[in-house]
C-alpha cells in the first residue's frame, strides 16, 4: 500500500476540566491546553506501525480548523508522520463538512487507507468516518481494535457489544479506531526538532470548493449537574432508612 491518511482533530486536552462559558454558547478554550484527539493519536500510531512493518510507504496527517491546528500537526510529524496538511478555516467544522474536506484531500493525494478516531472527544459525534466512507463510496470498518493487511484487503477486528467481530474490507477503505487498538508512542525531543523540517502544507478551505455550511445550531450548553455529597451510614438499618428517606426503596 502506498499512502495512509490520518485525520487529527485539535481538541481540549482530556486532562483539562472543561468549563462552560457563562452565556452557555460553548466551552472555554482560551488559555486551555489543546491536544490531538486521543483516538486520533491511536489512529496515527497504527498508521506508523503499518508503515514501519513495511505495509505502507507514506503517512500523511491532516487537520481541518484554525491556524493553531499546526501545533497538533507538528506533534503528529514528531510522532513520525511524513508530512502534514492543514485545511484552514475559522468556522466551526461539523462532521459532514470534515468528511467533504477529507474526500477532497483523498482525491488530491490518492490514499489507500484513511484512519480516523472513532469519535472526537469534544463533540462526541462519531460521524465523520462513516460519512466519509459513504461520500467516498468505499467500505468502512469502525471501532477497530486490530488491523491486518493481505492482498489488497484489510482484516479488522471490531469491538461490539457481544464481543469481537472480525471483518474483511477491500482497500481503499476507511477505518476508525477504538481505545484498545494500541498505545501511542511518546514524542522524544530529537523527533520534535526533526519534525520542524518536515513539510506542512496550508490550504485555505475556500480553495477546495466544498460546502461547509452548518447543518445544525447549538442552542445551549450546560455543565453536568453538581454531584451531591455522600452520606455516611452506621449500619444496614441506617442505609435502608437513608434509601427510604430518599424514596428509593
Ligand atoms: P467526530 O465524527 O466529530 O466524532 O470525529 C471522528 C473523527 O473524525 C475524529 O476522531 C477525527 O479523526 C476526524 N475529524 C473530525 N473532525 C475533524 C477535524 N476538524 N480535523 C481533522 N479530523 C477530524
- Dihedral sign computed on CA atoms, order 170, 147, 85, 27: positive
Q: For ligand 1, say whether the CB of 37 is within 6 Å of any of its atoms.
A: yes
With b for 16 or more beta-carbon neighbours within 10 A and e for fewer, the 143-161 pattern comes to: bbbbbebeeeebebbbbee
Separation CA 147–CA 213 (nearest Å): 35
Enumerate domains of the chain plus CATH numbers: 3-218 (3.40.50.620)
Cell of 94: 461539523
Of 24, 115, 8, the residue nearest 70 (C-alpha): 8
Of 101, 169, 89, 185, the residue nearest 135 (C-alpha): 101
Contact 102, 128 (CB under 8 A): yes
E strands in the chain: 3-7, 10-12, 34-36, 58-65, 83-88, 113-117, 140-150, 153-160, 163-170, 173-177, 200-204
State mean pLDDT over 26-49.
95
Q: To test ligand 1's pocket by mutation, which of 81, 98, 179 has the most ligand atoms within 8 angstroms of CB?
A: 98
Q: For ligand 1, say whether the CB of 40 is within 6 Å of any of its atoms.
A: yes
Query: Tell me, what's the pLDDT at 111?
Result: 96
- Which of 72-81, 114-123, 222-231 has the lowest average pLDDT? 222-231
CA 195 / ligand 1 centre spacing (Å):
23
- State pLDDT tens for residues 67-108: 999 999 999 999 999 999 999 999 989 999 999 999 999 999
Report whether pLDDT(148) > 90: yes
Q: To test ligand 1's pocket by mutation, which of 37, 45, 114 has the most ligand atoms within 8 angstroms of CB?
A: 37
**Percentage above 70 pLDDT, the chain:** 100
Q: pTM here? A: 0.91
Query: Tell me, what's the pLDDT at 226?
Result: 82
Of 175, 38, 179, the residue nearest 112 (C-alpha): 175
Amino acid at each position: 500500500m502506498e499512502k495512509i491518511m490520518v485525520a487529527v482533530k485539535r481538541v481540549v486536552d482530556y486532562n483539562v476540566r472543561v468549563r462552560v462559558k457563562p452565556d452557555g454558547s460553548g466551552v472555554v478554550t482560551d488559555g486551555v491546553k489543546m491536544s490531538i484527539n486521543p483516538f486520533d493519536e491511536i489512529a496515527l500510531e497504527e498508521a506508523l506501525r503499518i508503515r514501519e512493518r513495511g505495509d505502507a510507504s507514506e503517512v500523511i496527517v491532516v487537520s481541518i480548523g484554525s491556524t493553531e491546528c499546526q501545533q497538533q500537526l507538528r506533534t503528529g510529524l514528531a510522532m513520525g508522520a511524513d508530512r502534514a496538511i492543514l485545511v484552514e478555516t475559522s468556522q466551526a467544522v461539523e462532521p459532514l463538512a470534515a468528511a467533504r474536506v477529507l474526500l477532497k484531500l483523498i482525491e488530491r493525494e490518492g490514499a489507500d487507507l484513511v484512519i480516523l478516531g472513532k469519535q472526537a472527544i469534544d463533540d462526541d459525534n462519531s460521524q465523520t468516518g462513516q460519512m466519509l466512507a459513504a461520500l467516498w463510496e468505499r467500505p468502512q470498518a469502525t471501532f477497530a481494535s486490530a488491523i491486518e493487511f493481505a492482498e489488497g484487503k484489510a482484516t479488522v477486528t471490531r469491538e461490539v457489544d457481544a464481543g469481537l467481530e472480525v471483518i474483511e474490507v477491500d482497500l481503499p477503505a476507511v477505518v476508525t479506531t477504538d481505545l484498545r487498538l494500541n498505545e501511542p508512542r511518546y514524542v522524544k525531543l530529537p523527533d520534535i526538532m526533526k519534525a520542524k523540517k518536515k513539510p506542512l502544507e496550508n490550504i485555505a478551505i475556500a480553495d477546495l470548493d466544498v460546502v461547509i455550511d452548518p447543518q445544525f445550531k447549538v442552542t445551549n450548553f450546560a455543565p453536568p449537574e453538581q454531584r451531591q455529597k455522600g452520606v455516611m451510614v452506621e449500619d444496614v438499618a441506617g442505609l435502608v432508612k437513608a434509601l427510604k428517606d430518599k424514596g428509593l426503596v
